[in-house]
Amino acid sequence: MSVPSAPAVPARDDFVTAELYARIQQFYAWQMGLIDDRKAEEWAATFAEDAVFEEASRMEPLRGRAAIAASCRKRADRLEAEQTDFRHWLGMLDVRAQPDGTLRTRSYALAMRTRLGGPLEIFASVVCRDHLVPDGNGWLVRHRSLQHDGSGQ
Amino acid sequence: MSVPSAPAVPARDDFVTAELYARIQQFYAWQMGLIDDRKAEEWAATFAEDAVFEEASRMEPLRGRAAIAASCRKRADRLEAEQTDFRHWLGMLDVRAQPDGTLRTRSYALAMRTRLGGPLEIFASVVCRDHLVPDGNGWLVRHRSLQHDGSGQ
Amino acid sequence: MSVPSAPAVPARDDFVTAELYARIQQFYAWQMGLIDDRKAEEWAATFAEDAVFEEASRMEPLRGRAAIAASCRKRADRLEAEQTDFRHWLGMLDVRAQPDGTLRTRSYALAMRTRLGGPLEIFASVVCRDHLVPDGNGWLVRHRSLQHDGSGQ
């Protein structure tokens, strides 16, 4: 079989520093821990005041930190009532520094839940794309877009 | 709908350095690799001599490195006899440096196994909380507490 | 019960720097993103010209970047036709610097797919062992060996 030569593709040279990468990894571990611990207001505080949260296959966009907090609180209360442990697991983090000092990130996320006494259900694979903006010593999510695998998007 | 303003919550500023974070990530990748490779004694050597290993929903605490090693050896021999590959997958690592020079970590863990010729079974989501103490150039686990999702704890 | 004392095992002191660890984490997040985005040629360009790709329980080794690209293109086209989102999720990364300036890595990988409108299927746990060689500012995979759990290897 004749196999054509693979075209030359320049390698990436825009990886971020270890300090920034570790910082963003820690940010996400903390942030996801907050929602999983049902700390809706603390979780919402990791979003910018004017943040937009999009999950196109599931709901209309949430606009603003207060709306994000309210939605999260409702969700947390429901999970509490249903005695369900929920985990957001992020990985495969890609961070791209933007010329304006903000960051664009992409990560894979698994959504999983375990009802009291029940089996683990890992039910969704999601691609999370964030726009992070600097805030004091840290970062806030200004825009989050969640794209569910299998949704045709 | 009137949405109340989200309360101000101070952002975290206690993230650890990249050097420490990468070190602990590597520690866990190595440590979990040891148990999955059924190297019970090497795995146990990553615990302090007086370590305590708690998994409240599953067993009485194990006290001391020797007891931890013996339990792990028994488990490894059983998996070997059952021809089962087991993986401990940790992620979402949160590291908090303590004033006394020790570390408190929290991570998510998935427990999964594949029997010879069988399907992959990811059967438990667990929150792992460790107390790590410095030991020479590295770290040892002095206390590990595993909390299974769905166990009501 | 008398529990024998656990033997002394020297702790590892060969962990790599945060800069290198973060770099390799980013490399894998990028590389896996390329195959999942069906960018077969860009993905193949992360392998050395003379790379070998082994997946013993599934196929004969692929030899050379061109063969790797062709195999990936075929696979990508099939997934496209089947309207299937595929994710390669790597974690538990272990990196060992070699005396000759190359790297040996080991990571765990989960293979998962979601068909259009269908459920998430996480169907394989795989151990990925790579030999990475320096290339300009970055790294290329010279050898990859994938070992599927449950395959008896």
The reported pLDDT for the residue numbered A8 is 56
B136: number of Cβ within 10 Å: 9
Model confidence at B137, pLDDT cuts 50, 70, 90, reads confident
Instruction: Select from B8, B22, B94 the Cβ nearest to the Cβ of A30.
Output: B94
Q: Name the token pair of A117.
A: 């006494």
The reported pLDDT for the residue numbered A12 is 84
Spell out which residues of chain C touch residue B26, defining contact as CB-CB under 8 Å: 15-16, 21, 93-95
Q: Report the percent of chain C where pLDDT is more than 90.
A: 86
Inter-chain CB pairs, B–C, below 8 Å: 102
Q: For B82-86, what is the mean pLDDT?
A: 98
Q: Where are the domains of chain B?
A: 18-148
The reported pLDDT for the residue numbered A57 is 86
Residue of C nearest to A25 (CA): C22
For the stretch A86-130, pLDDT in tens is: 999 999 999 999 999 999 999 999 999 999 999 999 999 999 999
Answer whether residue C19 shows pLDDT above 50: yes
Contact criterion met (CB < 8 Å) for C45 and A106: no
Residue to mutate among C42, C88, C120, with most A CBs inside 10 A, is C120
Residue of B nearest to C122 (CA): B120
User: Whole-angstrom Cα distance, residue C4 to residue B144?
Assistant: 21
Residue to mutate among A2, A108, A127, A148, with most C CBs inside 10 A, is A108
Q: Name the token pair of A133.
A: 């903006």
For the stretch C73-120, pLDDT in tens is: 999 999 999 999 999 999 999 999 999 999 999 999 999 999 999 999
Contact criterion met (CB < 8 Å) for B25 and C91: no
Answer whether residue C7 shows pLDDT above 50: no
| Mean pLDDT of chain B, nearest integer | 93
Rounded to 5°, angle at Cα A42 from A37 and A43: 70
User: Whole-angstrom Cα distance, residue B93 to residue A33?
Assistant: 10
CB C84 within 8 A of CB C115: yes
User: Whole-angstrom Cα distance, residue C143 to residue C102?
Assistant: 11
Q: Is the pTM of this model over 0.90?
A: yes
For the stretch B26-77, pLDDT in tens is: 999 999 999 999 999 999 999 999 999 999 888 999 999 999 999 999 999 9
Residue of C nearest to A108 (CA): C89
The reported pLDDT for the residue numbered B4 is 47
Phi-psi region for residue B4, left (φ > 0), alpha (ψ -120 to 50) or beta?
beta
Instruction: Select from A28, A41, A64 the Cβ nearest to the Cβ of B9.
Output: A41
| Mean pLDDT of chain C, nearest integer | 93
The helix/strand/coil state of B38 is coil
Rounded to 5°, angle at Cα B31 from B27 and B37: 145
For the stretch A36-70, pLDDT in tens is: 999 999 999 999 999 999 998 889 999 999 999 99
- Given the candidates 3.10.450.50, 3.20.20.140, 3.40.50.11690, 3.40.50.300, the CATH classification of the domain at B18-148 is 3.10.450.50
Spell out which residues of chain A touch residue B9, defining contact as CB-CB under 8 Å: 41-42, 45
Residue of A nearest to C140 (CA): A11
Answer whether residue A149 shows pLDDT above 60: yes
Inter-chain CB pairs, A–B, below 8 Å: 102
Spell out which residues of chain A touch residue B110, defining contact as CB-CB under 8 Å: 89
Which chain A residues touch C if contact means CB-CB below 8 Å?
3-9, 11-13, 15-19, 21-22, 91-95, 106-108, 110, 122-125, 148-150, 152
From C3's Cα to the closest Cα of chain A, the distance in A is 34
User: Whole-angstrom Cα distance, residue B66 to residue B73?
Assistant: 10
CB B102 within 8 A of CB B134: yes
Confidence check on the interface: ipTM exceeds 0.85, yes or no: yes
Give the residue ranges of DSSP H helices in chain C: 18-36, 40-44, 65-81
Q: Which of these, A116, A64, A62, lies nearest to A86 by C-alpha position? A: A116
Do the bridges between strand C47-54 and strand C138-148 make them parallel or antiparallel, or are there none, so unpaired?
A: parallel
Q: Judging by beta carbons within 10 Å of its beta carbon (0-12, 13-18, 19+), is residue A7 exposed, middle or buried?
A: exposed
Model confidence at B117, pLDDT cuts 50, 70, 90, reads very high
The reported pLDDT for the residue numbered B130 is 98
CB B151 within 8 A of CB B57: yes
